[in-house]
Structure 1
Amino acid sequence: MKMLSLKVWKGIIILTVVFMFFTTYGLFDKGVDNKVNNNYSEENWKSDTTPIVFDWYIDFSWFQTKWGINPVSKYVTDKTGVSLNLITPSGDETEKLNSMIETGKLPDFITLSAQSDGYKKIIQNGLALPLDKLSEQYDAYFMKVADKQKLEWYREGDGHIYCYPNFSSPVTDFNNFKEEKPSNQAFLVRKDIYEALGKPDMRTPEGFLNALERAKKEFHMSDGQELIPLGFHEFNESGNLSLDSILPNFLAVPREENGLVYDKDTDNEYIRWLKTLRMANEKGLLSREIFVDKRAQIEEKITEGRYFAMLYQSSDMSAQQLELYSRDKNKAYIAIDGPSNSKLDPPKLAGDSISGWTVTLISKSCKNPMRAMRFLSYLISEEGNKDLYLGIKGSTWDVIYGKEQFKPEVVDLLNKDRIAFDNKYGAASTYWMLEDGDLVQKWTPDNEEAIKMISDWARGKTYNYSLFDNVYTYDDSEEGVAFSRISTKWGSTLKKLLIAKNEEEFNSILNEFIIYRKEQGWDNLQKYAQQKYEENKKKLNVLR
């Protein structure tokens, strides 16, 4: 064998030393050492529970609960080593998020609405780490605990998955939804006033307006404050949840017709009810406050029982409902049959969809992607859901009558004072960012009567609209830009429609909007939506 020259030997020695240096100090691929132990069945978060703090941005200004202030969050930190610095915007959510995207530096975790374009902007700007790659590199266990349908739903065009949803339900039935999880969309009235008025039928425009008029006249002042005849969710730059989503579902406006995505904004039944609301304003039944109030102000007014009727998501007012009920159950809100189409068809309300309520991403700026990925896997697993929902055995829950459930005193506080419960215990969806709504059903206590009398009304009226999720886009494509402009135009148009002086002005404003959206490429947008609808059917293996 030919001997190696001294020069070659020196080169080999130098390369060996360099390799050992880079390996020792982790300057090669961070995942090299971890791939050896990256077992599909292994709960990798258990392999490192040294203390670490992650910054977690939650894009909802109303969420104010901190981490580490209650036993459940402390328990999770003791168990995993992970502490969270929860960050929420102090002002406008869109401005805060856009500002972070512009800097290119985001907190370790980001949770945003699954219905907005925020999370898509983060992905498009290359600011999120692909969860499938992180799983491959650091934590194969993620692929064991993650739902496959949810992963495929959020797989991007580049083949990667950048986010994971909460309160997302895999689709099995597109008609009647699960009875144990009825919709949270409701038409609510204050029980005492509604009964004093003789329980009027509010399904027709005439009955609706008459009931609002009588409520304002006969109960002008309530507990020393002026009664607000009708309440909605807050108005934003693209419209209003109550009017853009809940109202069409109460009217059973179809999502598709003859296989084509349907345009609800020009539906005759929908326009009929927008004109009814315009008439309500003309009669002085729409308070100016409903156009400007944010969620905090709305919640305060609900707690005071200021609204007679509300088109609202019941889950967004449950804490206020419990407080009202504890003070005087007759002044709490009940759900009744609200606005209906001219045939008086029952509503088709939205339940949980495959998209979920929010999505969570791990940012490219994350200080420790390995720990972040493993913590995310823990959170979406049954163990993580149980820890955050039930809390600590013997403290918040125990096995009672053969079932894992909250202790009586814990349920009692949960049903009486949600805010006090969050502070004292921190269980039962206090930290909802990656909660699996289906998974926690087995631990969910029976609703207190204050909540039950609302949720029971929605049973049998709940449908799954997953096929129509994300058929429009907010991205930087031609379609996305057009839809963003049209949405902003609709946000200002909706208010103008409601305060129009007469029906002629209403028609003029609506026609102006229809012309505007056509100029912005509405026909192409409808073709795009149809294409996405067909893609959704393939993703969810639905033949229609």
Structure 2
Amino acid sequence: MNKKPKLKNLLMLMIATVLVFTTACSSGGNKNANKEEGNEAPAEQVKLTQDDKGWEVDKTPITFDWYINFSWFPNKWGVDATSKYITEKTGVNVNFIVPAGNEAEKMNTMIASGSLPDFITLGWYEEAVKKMIEGDLVLPLNELADQYDPYFYKVTDPAKLSWYKQEDGNVYGYPNSSSSPKDYEKFGDNITSTQTFLVRKDMYEALGSPDMRTPEGFLKTLEAAKKMYPDVNGQPLIPLGMYDFNDTGNASLQHYIQNFLAIPYDKDGQLYDRNTDPEYVKWLKTVRQANENGLLAKDIFIDKRPQMEEKIAQGRYFAMLYSRSDLANQQNALFANDPNSIYIAVDGPANANLDQPTLAGPSISGWTVTLISKNVKDKARAIRFLDYLISEEGQHDTFFGKQGVTWDNIDGKDQFLPEALNLLNTDRGAFDKQLGASHTFWMMMDTNLTPIWSPPAVEPFKQLEDWTRGKAKSLSEFDQLNPTGTSEEGIMNTKIDQEFGKVLPKLVLAKSDAEFDKIWNEFLKKRESLGFSKVQAYKQKQYEINVAKLAEATK
């Protein structure tokens, strides 16, 4: 009599059985299946081992917002052949976000809001890294790996994970362009530096290729260049170019020139105050003298990188303390117009003994670190995509692109196709936009692998690269010494750095050596009153920790 309830119960039982069967099949069977049909276990719940490529589990379309803390970064994902190929392969699309103006202001605004994009890439040395970790705004990569993708431990370097481990035992960021002590042992012959002293080839040779290692030779050559070449295509020559002045100083007039002077970082196990080294002070006074002699253009005090790149492309600088990698596009343009108008690397400022420079090679800290935001829209897909990019397969894809489009195996070796190689060597900007290979997307690039895959360097880049060989040195133990911004020493260090940023242009613009000395001595007193001794004591302890970490990494 009561048949309807029994029928209803029977139907419910059949549906439940089907659901149980379907779920069991999907979770115990095909790990590579997509979620498109909605009848499988969530991909993040699939149990994986270190040998499983987590990114293969789920390839459904997803777009991550990726913040790059460099206003000059020009590239878009999905325009070129390589990024299209990676999206096709992994299902991941990327929306890059780049600051329109001041990077520090943009980062601070995002941190203050408590809302960050999915991925964040910035210099490891940026105060924002510590702020994000301390503010609980980013996720521990090791915990994400434990939960969603053990492949992380197969593709990452244990020494680099140890280096970036925080006091809570977690790792929040992974570096690019990083070389551990073992990397130096393995790839030492291929390791170079990007730090160079550059001169415009045709002008320098017309002057007789003079020696610019001494203050006298340096000033004399700048003066001769200005006299022989007062303008370049109707625009005034800029005798000496350098990086931009910012809140904490100027890279060219700080660690760049100090490395050229081979000023030590430590002596007998104690950190050395490089800023008070007599050789450094002497060369700061040399730059001051250059200004008094009318050899420093006003441009160098106000220009930022976009303005500098425009002037480099015009060949308006005679000499520059600058990174060879930061003028690749401009160097190509100059070479195409006139091969003799390019920039070449020569021996620049040196100490009184004319010792060889000790230039910064890749350190274990790398160049940038990439972190995953606590607000990330899909934790599993995020860590798996990061691991793919870190892996050798991901490195190969970001370096070579898609087989048959940008590269192929030729004579038993993976190589760029002739058309792609020609574009890479003649127009890097067009190469990036059209093909997107050769680490156009450098966020996770492993520069230890790049030289193995790269075609032999050609002019106008070979001479720049070769000049640095044998001069590059690992300075890893001196990385990450600065105290955190919220600690007592961190606040002191920030104030000292900012004070130096105010003082440096005043030193260069001083009307006499006597005025320079007055400004300099006042700064030394001021930095002591701001807590310099306390900061140095903190850095010394951190340095000793770093030395121990590196010793452990070499075992």
Give TM-score scaled by structure 2 length: 0.91
The Cα of 1:38 is off from its aligned counterpart by: 2.1
Is the alpha carbon distance of 1:61 and 1:138 closer, same or farther for their aligned partners in structure 2, counting shifts above 3 Å? same
1:3 is aligned to none
**Which amino acid letter does the alignment assign opposite residue 241 of structure 2?**
G
Confirm whether residue 511 of structure 1 aligns to residue 518 of structure 2: no
Q: Give the counterpart of 2:447 among 432, 437, 440.
A: 437
Q: Give the counterpart of 1:148 among 143, 150, 158.
A: 158
1:385 is aligned to 395
Once structures 1 and 2 are overlaid, which stretch shifts more, 135-144 or 434-443?
A: 434-443
Q: Give the counterpart of 1:72 among 65, 82, 87.
A: 82
CA–CA separation in structure 2 for the residues paired with 1:266 and 1:121: 30
Is the alpha carbon distance of 1:311 and 1:33 closer, same or farther for their aligned partners in structure 2, counting shifts above 3 Å? closer
The Cα of 1:516 is off from its aligned counterpart by: 1.1
CA–CA separation in structure 2 for the residues paired with 1:314 and 1:507: 33
The Cα of 1:32 is off from its aligned counterpart by: 9.4
1:215 is aligned to 225
Is the alpha carbon distance of 1:345 and 1:176 closer, same or farther for their aligned partners in structure 2, counting shifts above 3 Å? farther
Give TM-score scaled by structure 1 length: 0.92
Render the CA deviation track for 1:206-238: whole Å, top value 9, x for unaligned.
000000001111100122211000000111111
Contact 2:483 2:535 in 1 (8 A): no
Confirm whether residue 356 of structure 1 aligns to residue 366 of structure 2: yes
2:53 is aligned to 43
Contact 2:117 2:375 in 1 (8 A): yes
The Cα of 1:33 is off from its aligned counterpart by: 7.4
SS of residue in 2 equivalent to 1:472: coil
SS of residue in 2 equivalent to 1:252: coil
Confirm whether residue 482 of structure 1 aligns to residue 492 of structure 2: yes
**Which amino acid letter does the alignment assign opposite residue 89 of structure 1?**
P
Render the CA deviation track for 1:450-503: whole Å, top value 9, x for unaligned.
001111111111111001001122421111111111001111111110000101
1:287 is aligned to 297
CA–CA separation in structure 2 for the residues paired with 1:299 and 1:390: 27
Aligned residues: 516
Contact 2:215 2:349 in 1 (8 A): yes
Q: Give the counterpart of 1:187 among 193, 197, 203.
A: 197
Q: Aligned Cα RMSD in Å?
A: 1.8
Q: Give the counterpart of 2:319 among 309, 319, 323.
A: 309
Contact 1:173 1:464 in 2 (8 A): no
Contact 2:507 2:520 in 1 (8 A): yes
1:170 is aligned to 180
Contact 2:489 2:538 in 1 (8 A): yes
**Which amino acid letter does the alignment assign opposite residue 295 of structure 2?**
L
Consecutive unaligned residues of structure 1, counting only runs of 5 or more, are 1-19, 25-30
Render the CA deviation track for 1:430-454: whole Å, top value 9, x for unaligned.
1000111112332111112100111
Contact 1:72 1:426 in 2 (8 A): yes
CA–CA separation in structure 2 for the residues paired with 1:291 and 1:180: 36
SS of residue in 1 equivalent to 2:386: helix
Once structures 1 and 2 are overlaid, which stretch shifts more, 318-327 or 249-258?
A: 318-327
CA–CA separation in structure 1 for the residues paired with 2:480 and 2:44: 36
Q: Give the counterpart of 1:455 among 465, 472, 475.
A: 465
CA–CA separation in structure 2 for the residues paired with 1:241 and 1:532: 23
The Cα of 1:177 is off from its aligned counterpart by: 8.3
SS of residue in 1 equivalent to 2:371: strand
1:16 is aligned to none
Runs of 4+ more than 6 Å apart: 173-177
Is the alpha carbon distance of 1:347 and 1:33 closer, same or farther for their aligned partners in structure 2, counting shifts above 3 Å? closer
Q: Give the counterpart of 1:129 among 112, 115, 139.
A: 139
Q: Give the counterpart of 1:255 among 239, 247, 265.
A: 265
Contact 1:278 1:498 in 2 (8 A): yes
